[in-house]
Structures are given as structure tokens and as C-alpha cells.
A and B are shown apart, each in its own frame.
Chain A
Amino acid sequence: MTNYLIRRLFQMALVVFLAALFTYFLFNIAPGGPLTGLAQQQRRLNRDDLARLRAGYELDLYWPVRFSRWLIGEPRGPITIAGKPIFANVAVGCYLTRDAGFTKNTDGTLTPVAAGCDQYEYLSDIQKYHPLIKTSNGILRLDFGLSSVILRDRPVLELLKSRIGPTLLLMGLATLLSLIIAVPIGIYSAVRQYSRFDYFFTTISFIGSAMPVFFFGLLLILGLSVFPAELQSTVPWIPRLPPGFAVAVRDYDVASWLQNVSAGSLLDRLLHLVMPVAVLTFAYMAGWSRFVRSSMLEVMRQDYVRTARAKGLFERVVIVKHALRNALIPFVTIVVLQLPGIFAGAILTETVFAWPGMGRLYFDALNRSDWPVALSVIFIEAVLTVFATLLGDILYTVVDPRIKYS
């Protein structure tokens, strides 16, 4: 087991590194970024100003160097061993770039100039152009860098801190609710296979897993917020739920029997949770109850279940102690793999309901080309996914002692 864990940890580190490298590379070739359109907006900027601005966003460094600085915060300057700097004159970037164009000769002819670099930047120069105040310690040391658009020049960590709470609340609640609903439905559908109950819930969960969450969200907003708002003038007792955000800005009425819900109160927060939680719960519950059902059906066919019945055990004991325990083994992995999602949030649901969570933050970051924020969210998710996979595999041995890793 120890050997297995050590090997797994190495593999996990490799996977996280590759994922980080891949996403960093993708963002590197992405159009847009903090300096888009700057040269057009401000004609008076000369080359030196532009170079300084570029250096401010580390855009002067080559991207593998930038990646290394983003990941571990190195290199920060020349590497000294025994007082002697080594690799000091290795080029790590280009401070003054030269665009492709033409130069006019004295006789009026044009000579083409290839794009290139007028002033290279060497390892020894890093401290000059990138003073330590602005450098990041590297994401591995939990320094997520600075946001470039959403909260300009403020730490990404601030954004993450403000968004993690709502996401944990929303996703945690939805996961818990769908577990509570899905497992009993799955068991009952399997035990009473082909009964009316089974047909009904199989159909419901089919619809639930095929339903686009964003449209289901819009339907809920229509049904619980837009239509009641129109009907309330004639039928004042119809409740109207708030359609978006996590808290209200000012007090509001839900229905004639529930007036003056004060903004920020517990009731207000709960009312805002209803629709997004319903959407997520419906989607998860659908998939999970089907999984539990088929897994239960598989187990109920086994010989040991027949043996248990033949021993004369109560049906309840057979189902709970013999069948369910075995049926839940594969289900554990499914639920554990869901854990990273609890932190990363649900992009579509959070967007539809304007929920201030991580998923929406990620979407905003992509839309507004705030690469440091998007990278941080992706990196966190990659790390969590890798750990969740490991946790799932370990839990597998706990719930099923027949499986051994070596």
C-alpha cells in the first residue's frame, strides 16, 4: 500500500504539472489579454513605454520562463552557486520587440525588416525589470498572482475567497439533497423492478439527465418568478421567488402571506437558494438514482443474495445488509469524483442564476480574458480532481476489502 501510494503521488504530481503546462500554453496562445488595443488607444505611447507595460505583465519573458515563475516563483534572478552566478547570460525574454515592417533607405527604397528582438533580456536582468514587489511566489506556494481585468491588480486570492463560500453552500446542499433523494429511489426502483413506481422514476430520471440545465433553469425562473409576478395583481397569494444572485439588495415581498423579507436575512438567502439547488439536484439525482438502480439490480441477481434469502432472513435485512452494501461500492467512486465540482461550482447553473460562485467567476474570467483568474480556478480544479481520484481508489479498498493495491 505504501509503495502504491508513493507511486500514485508521483503520477499525480506529473498529471497536475502536465495539466498546468497545457492550460498555461493554451492561454499563452490565446488572443486578447491585458494589453489588447492599448497601442491604438494611446498613440503617444512610445516603444519604451510599451516595453515597460509589457514587462509589468511579464509579457517580455518567454512563456516557459513565465510558466515557471507562475508555478514556483522561480527564476527571480541569476542562480548563484558558491558566490558565482551561473547561466547569467541565458536569454529569458525579449524586452524590446521589433515588429515586421520596412525601413526607408536614403535613396527612397524600402528594405524589409523581419520581426525580431532589439534588446534581449538575460537571467541577470530579471531583478532589474521585475522587482520583487510584483513577482509572484508561485501557485504551488499558494500565491495565485494578480487579477488582470476583473479586480485589476488585486490578488486573485481575494476573488477566490469571496466566491468559494456561495459555491460551497450551493453545491454542498445540492449534492447532499440529491444523495438523500437518489439512493432510496434507486433502491426502491430496483426492488420493485417494472412496477409503476419504477417506470415513473426511470422516466423522470431519463428526462432529468437529458434536460439541458440552462433551459431548466430558465423554465424555473419563468414558472416561479416571471409568471407569478404577472399573476400577483389578481392572485396575491402566489409566491414569487427572487430570480438571481445570492442575496437581495433591498427588502421585498414574496407573497401576500410573506411580506417584507429583509435583505440579507437567513430567509432571504434560503429563498435565493431554492431555484439553483432545485436545478442541480434534479440533474444529479437523475443520474445517481439510475446508477444506484442498475447497480442494485446487478447485485440482486448474485448468488449470495439468493443464499441470504434461502437462510430465511428478513427481506429488509437481505436488501440493506447484503445487497445495498455491495451495490454502493461503485457508487462511492461516482460521488467522490463529484467532490472537485463542489469547489469548482457549476458554470451553467451559476451563470443562469447570476450566482456569485466559482463557476461564474471562471466564466467571467474567460469572457473578459482575465487569464490569471481562469488559470487559478483550473489549477485548483486539477489538483482537487487528482486528489478525488486517489480518494476514490482508497475508499474502494475500504468498502471492498477484496481489492488490494500493491
Chain B
Amino acid sequence: MTTAARIVPVRNRAEDATQENQLALIARRFLRHRLATASLILILFVFVASLFAPVITVFPRDAIDISSANRPAPPGVVDSQGRVHILGIDQLGRDLFTRVLYAARVSLSIAFAVVLVSETFGALVGAVAGYYGGGIDMIISRIIEFMLTIPTLPILLIISAILIKSDTVLPLPGFVTKTLSAVMLAPEREVQKVVVLILILIVFGWMGAARLMRGMALSESKKDYVEALRSVGASDVRIIFRHIIPNGLAPILVNASLNLGGVIVLASALSFLGLGVQDPTPTWGNILALSQSYMSQHPWMPLVPGVPLVIVSIGFNFVGDGLRDALDPRLKR
């Protein structure tokens, strides 16, 4: 008894050490990718800034500053109460710095929600297809292929034109809208439309993860250890969740990071075309769309929402690239 009690903690410590080494190894490989590291820092900066948005700026999100005579006004303009508008004010007199910060909250939460759900769903579907094979795989693969041939943007435009412009209210569970409204600091009425957009983007976003996981599951399920697991009586659910999915997680993580950038751009594109999140809720896309008509007199205006959009979009792509290098077990050292 005593010996056993002595051995267990020792082995645990050893396991912890290898675990730490693994994470440290991944972190070290990631940090070697300089562009990825720089991108990660920039994204974290935007993220933290948007997290503390109500603390950083003195203006409420939709507050209209009627004291300033000329609207829009360039960055650094000082209003009659002596408050500085760091990034200027828009055509209605709202502080653009504030709106861009809140827009970061909205855009980032849309992206994280969409990617989290669609990658999880895609991974599950792909694992099931690859593990069971046969008829299930045939059906799922055909569905994936069909969804991939659909030109996304035209169909997205139709669906959002129908769902977002109509007044029909989806029966959503209260906690979803409440959580999102707390995260985005937006009233629940506005969150309704955002949830619709998130759902639409999920429907068109799960195929990449499903294809990756299907491929992994297909090759894993033929390996000996799966056969061994089956022979000791492990259930299919256990094999899929404890063995197949963890083994295929690395490419899913990379795909998720690349997708974060893609979803932000797609959501912004819809907002830009006026068919995404509508105006009182700020997003980088709809601020950009509004600035387009004032561009010739106020060339700074599109840059205000555009620069963070580009930084985050390109940033997530570089982070994904860095993750791919860091997680690739074939690159030892």
C-alpha cells in the first residue's frame, strides 16, 4: 500500500512534465513564426481593447454629439465640452473610436460563436462519417460536396435579405440572447438579428472541418489501436470522442483559426452590402459602408473601421499558419 501511494504522485509529476514540455514545445515553435506572433499580439490588443470598451471611452455607443457643427469630423476633433474624439465623428455625430471598439465586440463575438459551433459540429459529423464509413459516409460526403459547390455569397445574400429584413422573430431560447447581449453590450432586440446572422454563417461554415475530420477518422479507424479498443469492448461513442477526435484536433484548430478570419470578412461583407447586422448595432462592415458615401470629402473615414478589420483578418490567417507549423508533429525540435 505504502509503496503504491509513493509511486502514483511520482508518475503524475512525470506526466505533467511531459505535458508541459509538449505545450512549451508548441509555444516555442509558434513564437518562431514572427509574423504569427506579431499577429497574435495585435489581435490580443484589439480583443482586450474591445473587452474594456466601456472603460476606455467616455462616450456611450450611440450617443450623438450635437455640439460639433461639422459632421463627419476628422480624427482628433475637440467638441465644445472639450472632449477629444480620437478617431473623429461620423455623419450623425457619433464618436467613431467608441463605435469601432463596440464593433470589435460584435464582430469578434460573431466570429467566435460561428467558428466554435461550426467547427464542433463539423468535427462531429466528419468523425461519424469517417469512422462508420459505408452508407453514412456516402450520404454525408454527398451533402458536403453539394454544400461546397453552392456559391456561398449569392445564397447568403438571399437568406439574409429574407431573414434579416423581415420582422419575424425567431423563437430563440432566452439565455442565448441574454448571454450575447451581455457579451456584445447591445440591447436584446438588436441581438436577435445578430443571432440570425450567426445561424446562417454556421449553416455555410461547417463543411471544412467535417472534411478534415472525415479524412483523419478514415485513416485512424483503420489503425490497429482502434481494433484493439474494439476488442476490449470500448463503445463506438467512446472511441470517437476519446480517440478519433483528439487525434484529428490539430488540423481542426488550424482550420478554426483560419476560419475566424474568414468569418469576420464574410460577416463584414454582408454588413457592407447592407444585408448583415443593421446600423444602430456597429460592425466594421456597416461603418465601412456608411463611410463610403463620404469618402471623397473625408478620405480618412473608411480607414477607421477598415484598418482593424484588415489587421484582425490577416492576423487570424497568420496565427493559423503559425499554429500549423507549431502543431505539425513531423517538425521535431
Residues of A within 8 A of B (CB): 15, 23, 26-27, 29-32, 203, 206-207, 209-215, 218-219, 221-222, 226-227, 229-230, 337, 340-341, 344, 347-348, 351-352, 362-363, 366-367, 374, 377-378, 381, 385, 389
Contacts and interface: CB of A to CB of B under 8 A. Distances in A.
Contacts of A348: 153, 269, 272-273
B166 A31 contact: yes
A243 to B, nearest CB: 8
Given A26-B162, A31-B162, A351-B273, A211 B154 contact: no
Contacts of B318: 206
Given A30-B162, A212-B313, A226-B299, A385 B157 contact: no
Interface of B (DSSP majority class): helix
Contacts, number: 102
Given A206-B314, A381-B151, A212 B321 contact: no
Given A222-B299, A226-B296, A363-B273, A209 B161 contact: no
B165 A218 contact: no
19 contacts: A26-B158, A27-B158, A31-B162, A31-B166, A206-B318, A206-B321, A210-B314, A210-B317, A211-B313, A213-B269, A221-B295, A226-B299, A227-B299, A347-B154, A347-B273, A348-B153, A352-B292, A362-B157, A367-B161
Contact of A31 (B149, B165, B274, B275): B165
Interface stretch (B108-116, B233-241, B302-310): B302-310
A340 B153 CA distance: 14
Contact of B302 (A218, A344, A378): A218
A15 B143 CA distance: 12
B314 A207 contact: yes
A370 B288 CA distance: 26
Interface in B154-173: 154, 157-159, 161-162, 165-167
B321 to A, nearest CB: 7
Interface of B: 35, 146, 149, 151, 153-154, 157-159, 161-162, 165-167, 261, 265, 268-269, 272-275, 288, 292, 295-296, 299, 302-303, 306, 309-310, 313-314, 316-318, 321
Nearest to B160: A366
A378 B154 contact: yes
Which DSSP category, helix, strand, loop or mixed, fits chain A's interface?
helix
A23 B151 CA distance: 13
Most interface-central of A29, A31, A210, A337 (chain B CB within 10 A) = A210
Contacts of B310: 211-212, 215
A374 B166 CA distance: 18
A381 B295 contact: no
A210 B158 contact: no
A346 to B, nearest CB: 9
Given A206-B317, A212-B269, A363-B273, A219 B154 contact: no
B151 A222 contact: no
Nearest to B316: A210
